[in-house]
Amino acid sequence: MKALDIALKDLTQSFRNLSVLAFIFLVPVLVTGMFYLMFGGLGGDDDEGFALPRTEVQIVNLDAGGLPADAGFLASVPQGSDLRGIHSMGEVLAQFLQGEGFAEVMAVTAAPDAASARTAVDSQEAAVAIVIPQNFTAALIDPTERAVVELYQDPTLTLGPSVVKGIVSQFVDGFSGSKVAIGANVEQLNDAGLAMDAAQLQVLVAQYLASAAGQGRQQIGGESRLLAVVSPTGEGDASPLVGAVGLIMAGMTIFYGFFTGPSSVQSILSEDEKGTLARLFTTPTPQSTILGGKFLATALTVLIQFIALLVFGSLVFGIEWGNPIAVGLVTLGIVAASPAFGIFLMSLIKRARQAGVVLGGVVTLTGILGLASIFAANRSPAAKLVSLFVPQGWALRGLELAMNGGGAGDVLPAVVALLAWSAVFFVIGVTRCRKRFA
Amino acid sequence: MSNGKAIQALDLHKSYDEIQAVRGVSFDVRQGEVFALLGPNGAGKSTIISMLCCLLQPSQGEAFVMGHSILKEPSEVKAAIGVIPQEVALYEDLSARENLIFWGKMYGLRGPALKQRVDEILELIGLRARQKGRVGKFSGGMKRRLNIGIGLLHRPQVVIMDEPTVGIDPQSRRNILDNVKELRGEGMTVLYTTHYMEEAQELADHIASMDMGEIIAQGTCDDLIKIVGECDRVDLTISASADRVLETWKATPGVYQVMPEDGKLGLLVDDSNLVLPKLFESASGAGVRITWVDIQEPNLEAVFLHLTGRALRD
């Protein structure tokens, strides 16, 4: 009961302090809002939140082809295949990029030649020029032939060209796979004494093409999907940019949540210096109850902050945080980890004057480590791995899994990791505090 | 059992590395009396208080508060005492009433009993009208009064007041001294530390005079004054450096102590009527003019000077 009294007293003090309120609620919202505005989220005509600016792409198809146009070949192509009427891999790629599925993220127009396409990029009329080489199809048939698709981009732009590069890479990877598979088939048949003639080889190529074209449609979602955001647990339907703002908001919530814990726990140092802690120790209140009350106050502050920011993100930015139970579990982990982290850090500090620098420095550094993967190029796996060395990284992992459709079972490892961090921090911190105030 | 003793300190020691803050202090405080620990800053008074409040463990020795060991029964000791620390220890973001309610809860008070006691304390310390005001906006005197009120919330058997009048205005000081007298009138035991001789003299039934971590004398005020017999305390201001008369005056018959302090010279003399003419004469011979003289009856200041050779305010 006394622990609750101490917690309520601390909460009253915190929530009467305007600078504390601003730091807990306003700053994370402002930072996320800044990113939201940077992406033009408020400039859209609809209510979907983010709208990725369409990337102007000029495509030049120099592919000379190499597929037969006779009836025999066409007869070998599966019914309903997109290959009917198409005679080169260059056409497949061009059609793939010009498909409706990508219409929202890029506007593809055909350029007469490579030079004019590059000129369009140089003059910033287009962001990217794609040049499909003359031997693109031939390279598929002939294992010794090497073809290179050129991506010429405006160096001042990053987001749009990255998206285009990702899409083209996806196609080219499939192309390379087909090329390897065809080569392996031909070699195996040769080894078995069943040499293929040119016509048989063309039919085989056509079948691979049909398969590749079909996969391309699947990859782009066929109907309305642009890019399927595939999570380790399943697929999500959110737009990638709504997802990006969600991730940034999640990052800010975690970053400032882990600031709030140590900042609130700092009140122990402040009370120590003002004499109220010593006075508390003269009352018949056990030291563990006093520390427990401080922990509870911090945990409640983080909980209130977290819930407020999640609700705000959902209402204002349209962020879907995912399964409520999964989000609740991750929140529980953060609410335990942040104060424990604070008690641990506080136990290393002697005076409140040092607290600003030390707490600020450590929390910022661990925050950067834990959340860098949000901003790392292509969500770098290395950055994700490094993030797991700090609790903020596990918090982000848990929240990201929930946002991508993960359930309670999926986020459980991250929650367990957060609770383990909490236990370690709490035990070390409390042990040090007990010695200090003994 | 407490055997009529509210506090019993037995050979208390406290050392920090090489420093011995308290060296073998023993004293008894009877129930219902005001006991003063009198001594200059650094004498060890606050360290003794910290040990009695179970904030510090003695390096050696033991103490009992209302019969409870500070080493073995700290919870019982804490429940029996009300501590009024030297520095104001309040939550400035909270109102006076909120502070009292919070601290009352820490002492185990709840519900209507807490509300009633808070009202009584607000009345006692004269802050009823300002009970909803933020403490951060209070004057120093108001904070001091609230600081005292918190220590009295749970009707403690023993009130421990650590230099409660340091750095406050005369009116607030007067109020605090009157409060202590009221507490004694209500039968509370008060352990009061101070370096103001007048406070100890006015309030205390028993006094322990401390210096350098030790009790150098203890008893009633009269007992202590008897130590210096019929000596007078004479303070003088002279027109030149004290060095010019110091040795001569020390050698003057009837002079026990000469101590320069704050631009003055403090002397402990046998009979001021007989000694003063000799002092004037020797000063004149040294070309020094005596510009101010103050003669005091024997008091605790004189006792301290007699026992330590130093003034209480050092």
CB nearest A282 (choices: B78, B93, B105): B78
Q: Does residue B214 sit in the same domain as residue B241?
A: no
Does the pLDDT value for residue A187 go beyond 70? yes
Residue A89 CB partners (closer than 8 Å, separation 6+) = A63, A132, A136, A137, A140, A175, A209
Q: What is the ipTM of this complex?
A: 0.80
Q: Is residue B25 part of a domain?
A: yes
* Contact in structure between A129 and A152 (CB atoms under 8 Å): yes
Q: Which pLDDT score is estimated for B2?
A: 57
**Torsion over CA: B91, B94, B100, B104 (sign):** negative
Give the pLDDT band of residue A377 (cuts 50, 70, 90): low
CATH number of A55-230: 3.40.1710
Say whether A284 and B93 touch across the interface (CB within 8 A).
Answer: no
pLDDT at res. A184: 78
Q: Residues B142, B238: one domain?
A: no
The residue assigned the tokens 């004498």 is: B43
Residues B290 and B178 reside in one and the same domain: no
**CA dist A129 → A61, A115, A213, A232, A292 (Å):** 11, 10, 22, 33, 62
From chain B, pick out residues whose CB is under 8 angstroms from the CB of A2: 105-106
Cβ within 8 Å of B, A 215-274? 274
**Interface A:B, Cβ pairs < 8 A:** 57
If pLDDT is split at 50, 70 and 90, which confidence band does A30 have?
confident
Task: Look at A283 and B107 and tell me if their CB atoms are within 8 Å.
Answer: yes
Contacts with A428 (C-beta within 8 Å, 6 or more apart), sequence order: A344, A347
Question: What mean pLDDT is predicted for residues A363-384?
Answer: 78
Sign of CA dihedral B301, B302, B308, B314: positive
A279 at the B interface (CB within 8 A)?
A: yes
> Phi first, then psi: what are they for A372, rounded to 5°?
-60, -30
Residue B236: exposure state from Cβ atoms within 10 A (0-12, 13-18, ≥19) = buried
Regarding predicted confidence, which is higher, A371 or A35? A371
Are the C-beta atoms of B159 and B182 separated by less than 8 Å?
no
State whether B221 and B238 are in the same domain: no
**Contacts with B, A 6-25, CB within 8 Å:** 9, 12-13, 16-17
Is A435 an 8 Å CB contact of chain B?
no
**SS3 state at A152:** strand
Closest residue of chain B to A280, computed from CA coordinates: B106
A282 contacts B55? CB cut-off 8 A: yes
Long-range contacts of A178-186 (CB under 8 A, 24+ apart): A178/A140, A178/A208, A178/A209, A178/A211, A178/A212, A179/A139, A179/A140, A179/A143, A181/A208, A182/A140, A182/A141, A182/A143, A182/A208, A183/A143, A186/A143
Tokens 């592919």 -> residue? A63
More confident residue, A134 or A99: A134
Q: What pLDDT is recorded for position A306?
A: 87
Which of B57, B78, B85 comes nearest A278 by C-beta? B85
Q: Say which amino acid occupies A413.
A: P
In angstroms, the separation between the Cα of residue A284 and the nearest Cα of chain B is: 5
Task: List % helix, strand, coil for chain A (3-state, nearest 5).
Answer: 65, 5, 25
Burial of A397 (0-12, 13-18, 19+ CB in 10 A): buried
Cβ distance of B83 and A282 shorter than 8 Å: yes
How does pLDDT run along chain B (314 residues), one tens digit per residue? 457 899 999 999 999 888 889 999 999 999 999 999 998 888 899 999 999 999 899 999 999 999 999 999 999 999 999 999 988 999 999 999 999 999 999 999 999 999 999 999 999 888 999 999 999 999 888 898 899 999 999 999 999 999 888 877 888 888 888 888 988 888 899 999 998 888 888 899 999 999 889 998 889 888 888 777 777 888 899 888 888 888 899 899 988 888 887 778 888 888 888 889 999 999 998 888 999 999 887 778 778 877 777 766 54
Mutate to test the interface with A, among B52, B81, B105 (most CBs of A within 10 A): B105
Each domain of chain A, given as residue ranges in start order, spans: 2-42+239-437, 55-230
Binding-face residues of A in 124-163 toward B, CB within 8 A: none
Which of A283, A285, A288, A435 would you mutate first to test chain B, the one with the most B CBs within 10 A?
A283
B122 with B258, same domain: the answer is no
- Specify whether the CB–CB gap between A297 and A10 falls below 8 A: yes
Query: Which chain B residues touch A285 with a CB distance below 8 Å?
Result: 106
Residues of chain B in contact with residue A284, where contact means CB-CB under 8 angstroms, are 75, 78-79, 106-108
Residue of B nearest to A277 (CA): B89
Q: Which residue in B57, B75, B93 is closest to A284 by CB distance?
A: B75
Residue B211 lies in a domain: yes
When CB atoms are compared, the residue of A13, A279, A285 closest to B83 is A279
pLDDT at B205: 92
| Chain B residues within an 8 Å CB radius of A274 | 87, 89
**Mind listing the pLDDT tens digit for each residue in A203-249?**
777 666 666 555 555 544 444 344 444 444 444 444 455 567 788 88
CATH number for B273: 3.30.70.980
Yes or no: say if B304 and B312 are a contact pair by the CB < 8 Å rule: yes
Does the distance separating the beta carbons of B78 and A283 come in below 8 Å?
Answer: yes
Contacts of B108 in chain A (CB under 8 A): 284
Q: Which residues of A89-111 are buried (b: 16+ CB within 10 A; e: fewer)?
A: bbbbbbbbbbbebbeebbebeeb
Residues 64-83 of B with CB under 8 A from A: 75, 78-79, 81, 83
Dihedral (CA of A172, A174, A175, A180) sign: positive
Do residues B26 and B150 share a domain? yes
**pLDDT tens column, A67-84:** 655 444 545 555 555 555
Q: Which residues of B touch A17 (CB under 8 A)?
A: 93
- Asked if residue B303 belongs to a domain, the reply is no
Cβ-based contacts of A279 with chain B (< 8 Å): 83, 85, 89, 103, 150
- Considering the domain boundaries, does residue B309 fall inside one? no
Query: Which of B 183-242 lie inside 8 A of A, CB atoms?
Result: none
- Taking CA A235 as the corner, what is the angle to CA A229 and CA A238, rounded to the nearest 5 degrees? 55
Which pLDDT value is given to residue A238?
46
User: Are B106 and A2 an interchain contact pair (Cβ–Cβ within 8 Å)?
Assistant: yes
Q: Which domain holds residue B254?
A: 230-297
What span, in angstroms and rounded, lies between the C-alpha atoms of A394 and A152? Answer: 38
Residue B107 at interface with chain A, using a CB cutoff of 8 Å:
yes
Query: Which residues, other chains included, contact A10 with Cβ-Cβ below 8 Å and sequence gap of 6+?
Result: A264, A267, A293, A294, A297, A298, A301
Q: Are strands B232-238 and B290-296 parallel, antiparallel or unpaired?
A: antiparallel
Q: What percent of chain A has pLDDT over 70?
A: 80
Please give the backbone phi and psi of residue A108, each rounded to the nearest 5 degrees, phi first.
Answer: -100, 125
CA distances from A305 to A24, A29, A256, A334 (A): 6, 11, 9, 11
Contact A113, A125 (CB under 8 A): no
The residues facing B60 across adjacent strands are B13
Q: How far apart are the two ends of chain A, measured CA to CA in Å?
A: 23
Supply angle C-alpha B255, B256, B262, rounded to 5. Answer: 90
A5 at interface of B, judged by CB pairs closer than 8 A: yes
Mind listing the pLDDT tens digit for each residue in A341-354? 988 888 888 777 77
Residue-wise pLDDT for A284-295, tens only, equals 998 889 888 988
What pLDDT band is residue A281 in, cutting at 50, 70 and 90? very high
Portion of chain B with pLDDT greater than 70, in percent: 97
The residues that bridge with B25 in the sheet, in sequence order, are B12
| pLDDT value for A172 | 80
Distance CA B268, CA A238 (A): 92
Same domain for B175 and B59, yes or no, is yes
- Does the beta-carbon distance from B93 to A13 stay under 8 Å? yes
pLDDT in the model for residue B92: 93
What integer is the mean pLDDT of A393-399? 90
Q: Nearest chain A residue to B57 by CA: give it.
A: A438
Provide the CA B137 distance to its chain's centre, in angstroms: 28
Give the CATH number of the domain where residue B50 resides: 3.40.50.300
CB A137 within 8 A of CB A67: yes
CB pair distance less than 8 Å for B89 and A12: no
B265: how many CB neighbours lie within 10 A of its CB? 20
Decide if A275 touches B, using CB distance below 8 A: yes
Tell me the pLDDT of chain A averaged across its residues.
Answer: 78
Regarding whether B264 and B144 lie in a shared domain, the answer is no
In the predicted model, is pLDDT for residue A45 greater than 50? no
- Do B142 and B275 belong to one domain? no
**3-state SS assignment for residue A144:** coil
Of B75, B81, B106, the CB nearest to A280: B106
Same domain for B203 and B252?
Answer: no
Ranked by mean pLDDT, which of A168-177, A193-202, A298-307 comes out on top? A298-307
Exposure of B94 in the CB half-sphere (CA atoms within 13 A):
21
Q: Do A275 and B88 touch (CB under 8 A)?
A: yes
Q: Mean per-residue pLDDT for A90-101?
A: 80
Task: Write out chain A residues lying below 8 Å of B54, CB-based.
Answer: 281-282
Contact B103 A283 (CB under 8 A): yes
3-state secondary structure chain B: CCCCEEEEEEEEEEEECCEEEEEEEEEEEECCCEEEEECCCCCCHHHHHHHHCCCCCCCEEEEEECCEECCCCHHHHHHHEEEECCCCCCCCCCEHHHHHHHHHHHCCCCHHHHHHHHHHHHHHCCCHHHCCCEHHHCCHHHHHHHHHHHHHCCCCCEEEEECCCCCCCHHHHHHHHHHHHHHHHCCCEEEEEECCHHHHHHHCCEEEEEECCEEEEEECHHHHHHHCCCCEEEEEEECCCCHHHHHHHHCCCCEEEEEEECCEEEEEECCHHHHHHHHHHHHHHCCCCEEEEEEECCCHHHHHHHHHCCCCCC
When CB atoms are compared, the residue of A5, A12, A274 closest to B105 is A5
CB-closest option in B53, B87, B94 to A282: B53
B209 in the same domain as B159: yes
* Of B177, B193, B225, the domain-final residue: B225
Domain count, chain B: 2
B24 with B81, same domain?
Answer: yes
